[in-house]
Amino acid sequence: MINELLKGLQRTLFDRPLKPGLLIQERYRINELLGMGSYGITYLAHDSLTKTTVVLKQLRKTKAKTESGLRSFQRESEILKVINHSQIPKLLDEFQNDLGLFITMEWIQGDTFEDLIFRDQHTYNERETIAILLELLNIIESFHEKDIIHRDLRIPNIIQRNGTLHIIDFGLACFLSDKETSDPDDHPEKLRMRAVTVKSDLFALGHFALFLLYSSYEPQIKKEKSWEEELTISHSFKAALRKMLQLDEPFHSVAEARFALNQI
């Protein structure tokens, strides 16, 4: 508890976001703060050279003092260079100055599924959920084939743009050859999502699917039940979700998950 408080104090003192209007590298003018993650602080910025809006990500100063923090930030740029996929942000630039380490990425302008579900009250039935999962599996397979796993496939990191899905934020992504770095004291679900294996992305995708399915769920009684009791979905879809969520023998590849979903 004390360690967490100290970390929070350090972040408040040293990891303050840069102010809107600030010009970085005589090129990028900060428009607004997008968010603060485990390793980086992310902004929307205007690129005066290309006259476009871009995503600017700064390594937290507290993380820049650690080998693991530096490595994670550098690895994100390495991974984005390797992926090169139309439904994943492109790496545009990387640099270091007196304000720290930065990478610049393509801005995917659209709605996250967090926005669609909670802000717009959008609902998804079984058929729609399966269609979304199948499109995501195609994107995920493209980087799994390059021995890359995302490890953070949550509703804020999946965007719908003009009817097409995009996966963003590779800040926790790693190569399958990387060593496991999870804290053994973490919650079991977090350990499964952060595990250095392709099964971690399928596990996260199972949770993503539950968010979509619960968007149309209306409880009939106050007593809370399991998702299998509450959600009205087909037996075959339940079976596929149980394998994604590692409640049964899990899928070991995107191909296995895709085959099961296509059979429903």
The answer to whether residues 75 and 174 touch, using CB atoms and an 8 Å cutoff, is yes
R_g of the chain, CA atoms, integer Å: 20
Give CA–CA dist 197/190, Å, rounded.
13
Indicate which residue of 152, 178, 183, 248 is catalytic.
152
Q: Give the containing element (helix H, strand E) for 69.
A: helix 67-83
The answer to whether residues 39 and 60 touch, using CB atoms and an 8 Å cutoff, is yes
SS3 (DSSP) at 200: helix
Q: Which DSSP letter does residue 155 get?
A: G
Active site residue 185: no
Strand (E) positions, the chain?
23-24, 28-36, 40-47, 52-59, 91-97, 100-106, 111-112, 148-149, 158-161, 164-167, 174-175
Q: Token match 């992504």: residue?
A: 173
Catalytic residues: 152
